[in-house]
Amino acid sequence: MKNPLLITALLITGAVAAWGILDTAGLARVASELVHALFKSRAWFIMLTVTFMLIVSLWLAFSRYGSIKLGKDDDEPEFSTVSWLSMLFSAGMGVGLLYWGTAEPLAHYIVLTDGGADAREAANQALFVTNFHWGLHAWAIYALTGLIIAYFGFRLDCPSLISAPITKVFGAGKFPAVAGWLADLLAIVAVAIGLGGSIAMGVFQIKEGVDAWLGLEGTGLGLMLTIFALLVTAYILPLTVDLSRGMALLSNAAMAIAGGLLIFIIIAGPTHYIMGGVTEATGEYFWNAFVHGFRTFTFMDEAAENWFHSWTLTYMVWWLAWAPFVGVFIARISKGRTIKEFILGVVLGPTIFSVLWFGVFGSVGFYAALNTDLPILELARSNASAITFYVLNSLPLASVTVLAVVAAAFLFVVTSVVSAAFVLGMFSSGGNLNPPVRIKLIWGGILGALGLVMILSDSIDAVKSIIALGALPFVFVVLLLVVCLLKALKSESVNAK
Amino acid sequence: MSYLIDTIMNIEIFAFIGLLVWLYFKPVDGDDT
């Protein structure tokens, strides 16, 4: 066999896609049951892992290793700090923030008030947990994975592979080789399935946007499949030619639209209410985030436990699924920065932006729920994908802003899939920085098929379960990589003496 | 029975954590620490 890793990865992801297309409900049910069983027995381990990653990242930043450069000692950063931070936001934002901006705080609010919580207190709590899901812990997972890829790639001249730190630190013996091969395989599976979910979420959102913009109703699967076909057409071409500059431009355009939207909502919405919500959420989040990282809801009832599984744990595993892909991206743009600069930039910068984003979008949603007669909570119960557009429709210039969100969602999905197909091609061709077009196209096809499976499931919960199942094994890989990094840093510091 | 499955699934985790600790302290070729 010429490339056993590529063939095995294609067989696994292809089998998941085929199963999902032939029996969508069956795959969704099995994924949900397996994920529930794994979450039930391993919740403590997942929470400890993500909190451990946050502690290790912050410790590395302020330890004696903080001054080590991600590159040779005389390497300088390629991008200015402002441009670097902007690219970080863009990598982590994706379509998720557009989708969940208002929908997630409202979803938690509904659960809390259904359980008898006071409405005002529930709004506060709902914003806090949303920020927890998108904040420091999420970015610590990305930061540590990116740091490992950048340190081994730029400083120790290893190929950009998930297996590289393992074989570099433990040698090229039989066991490190097998562990490294498995790590590459698990990373590929996690990225492919995670990105499939992202395509589905993008399609759900764009469909609702088109419905809202054109005033359509009951368009269902037909419109989703049309949007899906357009997305696939839009990302296939960039896979055949080198359009890295063009892709960066499109990604920045999507980011600019999102930033413009944020400013527009602050100005056009109930400004004092939004800014009050942002301020409250910021204090609440940064004060309580660390302790919350240890919460496992063990002593709560089954409803609270189920909520914890389907939100907090799913998110944490979701970030792990994206980590190899986002990690490669942030490593590539961070050459020449010190470990301290890297960690503080990657962990704090996007977290602050996320707290602002959810503070603004969440507050505007709570304003509608608590101070107007708009039926936003009913909609949040029945169709989360439509919430962002509902909020925009309640503000001026709705036809422009709805179209802007549709365009941004489209651009985010296209740029993510193109980058993911590149990273998957790289991982499955021995770390080749210019993977063959044929391999990128194969991955583009697999990502499309996985996306189609999740669109056919027509359920955001099914999408979450399938992603979690693909990513759970990667928890072990990340921890092994952290050990490799700590050993390599210790060794470098001893050799330097 | 459910306790047994739960125990087995957690023992895997304990073993993995033990393995990581062992790997961290294990000297490797060329390591003079």
Domains and CATH numbers, chain A: 4-496 (1.20.1740)
B28–chain A nearest CA distance, Å: 6
* Residue A494, H or E segment: helix A474-496
Residues A49-108 have pLDDT tens digits of 999 999 999 999 999 999 999 999 899 998 888 878 877 777 666 777 888 899 999 999
pLDDT at site A243: 60
pLDDT at site A209: 85
Q: Across the interface, do A169 and B28 touch by the CB < 8 Å criterion?
A: yes
B9–chain A nearest CA distance, Å: 7
Angle at CA of residue A225, ends A315 and A454, nearest 5°? 30
pLDDT at site A59: 97
Chains A, B: CB contacts within 8 A come to 34
Residues A179-222 have pLDDT tens digits of 999 999 999 998 888 888 888 888 888 888 888 888 777 677 88
Q: Across the interface, do A483 and B6 touch by the CB < 8 Å criterion?
A: no
pLDDT at site B33: 42
Q: How confident is the model at residue B32 (pLDDT cuts 50, 70, 90)?
A: very low
Which residues does chain A have within 8 Å of residue B23's beta carbon, measured at their own beta carbons? 170, 480, 483, 487
Quick check: A111 pLDDT over 50? yes
Q: How far apart are the first and last CA of chain A?
A: 46
Quick check: B30 pLDDT over 60? no
- For A411-434, b/e burial (b = at least 16 CB within 10 A) is bbbbbbbbbbbbbbbbbbbebeee
* Separation CA A195–CA A321 (nearest Å): 9
Which residues does chain A have within 8 Å of residue B10's beta carbon, measured at their own beta carbons? 41-42
CB A348: neighbour CB atoms within 10 A? 17
A487–chain B nearest CA distance, Å: 6
* Separation CA A379–CA A388 (nearest Å): 11
Residues A296-329 have pLDDT tens digits of 998 988 889 889 998 999 899 889 888 988 898 8
pLDDT at site B11: 92
Residues A231-280 have pLDDT tens digits of 988 888 888 776 666 777 777 788 888 899 999 999 999 999 999 999 99
pLDDT at site A173: 86
How many percent of chain A have pLDDT more than 70? 97
Angstrom distances, CA of residue A453 to CA of A26, A54, A209, A224, A448: 11, 34, 21, 12, 9
**Total-model pTM:** 0.91
pLDDT at site A242: 67
Closest CA to A150 of A487, A497, A481: A481
Q: Across the interface, do B24 and A171 touch by the CB < 8 Å criterion?
A: no
Round the average pLDDT of chain A to a whole number and report it. 89
pLDDT at site A345: 94
Q: Report, as an integer, the average pLDDT of A439-449.
A: 89
* Separation CA A337–CA A365 (nearest Å): 39
Tell me which of A463 and A488 has the higher pLDDT.
A488
Which residues does chain B have within 8 Å of residue A487's beta carbon, measured at their own beta carbons? 23-24, 28, 31
A183–chain B nearest CA distance, Å: 15
* Residue A410, H or E segment: helix A398-427
pLDDT at site B31: 54
Identify which of A480, A483, A491 has the shortest CB distance to residue B33.
Answer: A491
pLDDT at site B1: 66
Greatest alpha-carbon pair distance for chain B in Å reads: 48
A341–chain B nearest CA distance, Å: 26
Nearest chain B residue to A49 by CA: give it.
B17
Identify which of A40, A41, A170 has the shortest CB distance to residue B28.
Answer: A170
Which residues does chain B have within 8 Å of residue A41's beta carbon, measured at their own beta carbons? 5-6, 9-10
